[in-house]
């Protein structure tokens, strides 16, 4: 209980005094996660729309696979990305291991199936509603996909926010591929793991509260900007 209180107090002072180290790792956390989310959304949303609209032979298998990959163990993803990016790996020449880029790659790999699966649920329901109309209007496959993505944009926000939540709280994969290097790849989650390992629970808790606050702030900001929960809007 004392640790919890100490953590809250320390978190308060870290934020109020704009602690330089905290600002640095918070900014890095946000930069890595938002980059991963943007890339994952660009991959996952069109994929979800394609799966909603297009009928092809292995469609159900692809959907089942995506759903299964939602539970992909982050440590395994981290290990695979590590092997691919390590000096002896196929992409070792790029020198990306232990950089924020490697962390983004790992996060993208983890959240693409999650975002695509949740997005697909929304788009499938909307496609069921729009099917006859869009077929009747004789619009192209690309137009159908764009229409679904635009009209379901607020529902897709939920998918993106789920991806954001998963990515910003991720520690296992980015610890492996990032290495938790101070001033280079240290982010909030890896810093929490480090401080916990050192036995500084108060600081670890303080960083945890900052992480939660950051996640809530980003969610509220996105909801506010996209004007969800307004009457008569989707």
Token match 């991959």: residue?
A: 43
Number of H helices, E strands in the chain: 10, 0
Q: Which of 71, 197, 199, 232 binds another protein (CB under 8 A)?
A: 232
Give the residue with the Cβ less far from another protein, 155 or 212: 155
Q: How far is the CB of 159 from another protein (least distance, A)?
A: 16
Count of residues engaged in binding another protein, rule: CB under 8 A: 17
CA dist 6 and 88 (Å) reads 45
| Interface with another protein in residues 129-148 (CB under 8 A) | 129-130, 132-133, 135-139, 143, 147
Burial class (CB within 10 angstroms; exposed 0-12, middle 13-18, buried 19+) of 120: buried
Residues in CB range of 34: below 8 A, 6 or more apart:
164
Give the residue with the Cβ less far from another protein, 183 or 233: 233
> Is 229 a residue that touches another protein (CB under 8 A)?
no
Q: How far is the CB of 87 from another protein (least distance, A)?
A: 51
Give the residue with the Cβ less far from another protein, 109 or 147: 147
Q: How far is the CB of 233 from another protein (least distance, A)?
A: 6
| Interface with another protein in residues 103-132 (CB under 8 A) | 126, 129-130, 132
Instruction: Count CB atoms within 10 A of the CB of residue 182.
Output: 11
Give the residue with the Cβ less far from another protein, 147 or 180: 147
Could you write out the DSSP letters of every residue in 78-120? HHHHHHHHSTTSTTGGG--TTSHHHHHHHHHHHHHHHHHHHHH
CA dist 220 and 179 (Å) reads 31
Q: How far is the CB of 48 from another protein (least distance, A)?
A: 17
Both structure tokens of 118: 């949740």
Give the residue with the Cβ less far from another protein, 17 or 136: 136
Burial 129-144 (b: 16+ CB within 10 A, else e): ebeeebeeeeeeeeeb
Query: Which residues contribute to the site for another protein (CB under 8 A)?
Result: 126, 129-130, 132-133, 135-139, 143, 147, 151-152, 232-234
């Amino acid at each position: 209980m004392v640790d919890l209180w100490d953590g809250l107090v320390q978190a308060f002072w870290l934020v109020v005094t704009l602690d330089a180290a905290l600002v640095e790792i918070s900014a890095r956390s946000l930069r890595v996660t938002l980059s991963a989310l943007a890339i994952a959304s660009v991959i996952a949303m069109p994929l979800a729309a394609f799966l909603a609209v297009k009928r092809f032979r292995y469609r159900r298998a692809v959907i089942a696979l995506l759903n299964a990959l939602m539970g992909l163990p982050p440590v395994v993803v981290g290990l695979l990305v590590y092997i691919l990016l390590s000096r002896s790996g196929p992409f070792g020449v790029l020198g990306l291991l232990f950089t924020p880029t490697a962390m983004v790659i790992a996060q993208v790999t983890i959240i693409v199936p999650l975002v695509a699966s949740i997005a697909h649920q929304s788009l499938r329901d909307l496609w069921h509603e729009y099917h006859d109309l869009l077929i009747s209007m004789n619009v192209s496959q690309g137009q159908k996909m764009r229409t679904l993505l635009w009209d379901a944009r607020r529902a897709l926000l939920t998918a993106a926010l789920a991806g954001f939540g998963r990515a910003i709280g991720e520690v296992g994969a980015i610890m492996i591929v990032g290495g938790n290097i101070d001033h280079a790849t240290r982010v909030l989650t890896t810093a929490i793991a480090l401080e916990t390992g050192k036995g500084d629970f108060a600081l670890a808790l303080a960083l945890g509260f900052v992480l939660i606050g950051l996640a809530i702030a980003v969610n509220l900001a996105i909801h506010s900007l996209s004007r969800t929960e307004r009457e008569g809007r989707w």
